[in-house]
Amino acid sequence: MKAGIIFTGTGPILILTTYESFGDKKLIEKLSQKGIKKFMAYEVPLEVVKRKYGQQYDVIMKDVKQSDDLRVLDFDGHKIFYSFSFTDLGDPFQHEAA
């Protein structure tokens, strides 16, 4: 499992995913189905996410309604942006639909 902040046209979302990379074609397809066709993604340490989100993280992980390969942990862009330091962010990945 990896965590990532996805910066979209409407602001950042925090996701959990089992995909190996943010460039995985299946992940890009899933995001596209949700209307996210252009984005920048940064991996954030899973332990930092667990510490910051605590019980909310546990609830999302137990939610059987969400798919196993992509779970949205938070979509409050303001909270996400200010919860993580730039030093928490991994290398950027960018995607833009053709």
| Residue linked to tokens 């939610």 | 63
pTM over 0.85? The answer is: yes
Instruction: Report the candidate in 76, 64, 69 with the shortest Cα–Cα distance to residue 13.
Output: 76
Q: Give domain limits for the chain.
A: 2-96
Confidence of residue 8 (pLDDT cuts 50, 70, 90): very high
Q: How far is CA 69 from the centre of its chain?
A: 11
Q: Which residues contact residue 51 at a Cβ distance below 8 angstroms, ignoring those fewer than 6 apart?
A: none
- Whether 45 shows a pLDDT value over 90: the answer reads yes
Instruction: Tell me how long the chain is.
Output: 98
Q: Which residues contact residue 46 at a Cβ distance below 8 angstroms, ignoring those fewer than 6 apart?
A: 1, 2, 3
